[in-house]
Amino acid sequence: MCTSIIFSPKNHYFGRNLDLDISYGQKVVITPRNYQFDFRKENSISHHFAIIGIALVANDYPLYFDAANEAGLGMAGLNYPGNAYYQETLSLTKANISPFEFIPWVLSQCSNLTEAEALIVKTNLVAINFSEKMPLASLHWLLADKTGQALVVEADRDGLHLYHNEVGVLTNNPQFPKQRFALNIYRNLSVQPTANTFASNIDLTPYSSGMGSVNLPGGLDSVSRFVRATFNLHHAPKSENNAENINTYFHILKSVEQQKGLNKLDNGQDEFTIYSDCFDLDQNCFYYTTYNNSQISQVSLAHEDLEDSNLISYSISDQPNFREVN
Ligand SMILES: C[C@H](CCC(=O)NCCS(=O)(=O)O)[C@H]1CC[C@H]2[C@@H]3[C@H](O)C[C@@H]4C[C@H](O)CC[C@]4(C)[C@H]3C[C@H](O)[C@]12C
């Protein structure tokens, strides 16, 4: 499972936890402005916004898991098993784009959510594999921009749905409106000390601080993570200091991370948080941590030649990093 958030204390920080049992050999991949994006059914785009994110590069093509462009638009694909449905037939009126092309299609052309929405309603997500060995991924997507707003895109059996997401969080199943509805169950949670509303004639003492969060779901399932990430995001402190805000952002994602050993899959493997990442949409800076390396790594778009035409990639460091004090 995965969790994606947009946090807007001052700058706008967007990204996700990637939770999975296996690594695909993904890297930090920068697509400069003059790399030619070829699409299976649409014309190539040879000059576009530069993009940075996590991707698997196959046949010199960046298969992005999540990314943001230099204009400050971010987009993440999250697992949506059993619900994602891609069209078998090509549209004559809309652009036909495969799910693996969707992030490049949107981020190469759109600078914000308004433009992205206008493009996506004219896009038909079609069931075209990247290759025999790389089957279609069942995904839905969270997009966010420098307004701090977010948009969910879900291709269901009954068609493409776009939802304005004022909550700023997305996990996996079920459909976004159902995830959003689940918050109603928890509307009485609070960060304030709570009163005894149970029974006034019974003497009940608050044995601990934090009693207002006593029913905040702690599970690793997608709805529990959605509720917990939303509560923690909406009560996170906002600072004037960029480093403090980035640190807070990672605290929010860590509150829904998956430790190894807690989520056994049918294949016997552990699902765990392979990486957590953060795009500062205002500064064009990318940050990440991994399961074994909680030091925050930083990759800056400004340090690259963005007029280049070749992909630039950096290996992800997953080695524990200790500061030796004595
Ligand atoms: C599985 C990933 C989402 C994380 C997640 O939600 N995991 C939950 C696992 S589980 O259901 O709970 O078991 C998704 C996010 C982006 C996906 C990748 C990207 O879409 C890029 C390509 C697309 C190709 O079609 C398949 C390989 C792939 C490289 C995808 C593999 C996988 O589906 C990824 C890595």
List, for residues 121-142, the tens digit of each pLDDT value: 999 999 999 999 999 999 999 9
Phi, psi of 16 (to 5 degrees): -160, 165
Locus of tokens 């060995």:
133
63 lines ligand 1 (CB under 6 A): yes
The predicted model scores a pTM of: 0.97
Phi, psi of 163 (to 5 degrees): -125, 130
Residue tagged 């992205």 (tokens): 116
- Cα-based distances in Å from 13 to 67, 274, 288: 12, 19, 12
Q: Ligand 1 centroid to 85 CA: how many Å?
A: 15
Tokens found for residue 125: 């997500």
CATH number for region 2-186+220-314: 3.60.60.10
CA dihedral defined by 239, 276, 161, 109, rounded to 10 degrees? 80
pLDDT at 1: 61
Q: Annotated catalytic, 2?
A: yes
Residue 104 is predicted with a pLDDT of 98
Q: Where are the extended beta strands (E) located within 145-284?
A: 150-156, 159-164, 169-170, 272-280
Please report the beta strands in the chain, taking only residues with DSSP state E, as ranges in sequence order.
Answer: 2-7, 13-20, 27-31, 51-58, 61-69, 74-79, 95-97, 123-125, 139-144, 150-156, 159-164, 169-170, 272-280, 285-290, 297-300, 312-314
Low pLDDT (below 50) residues in the chain: none
Instruction: Kindly report the protein residue whose alpha carbon is nearest to atom 19 of ligand 1.
Output: 65
H and E: helices and strands count for the chain: 5, 16
**Ligand 1 pocket residue status of 137, Cβ below 6 Å:** yes
Q: What per-residue confidence (pLDDT) applies to 193?
A: 94
Q: Using CA atoms, how far apart are residues 165 and 274, in angstroms rounded to an integer? A: 26
Does a cis peptide bond (omega within 30 degrees of 0) precede residue 174? yes
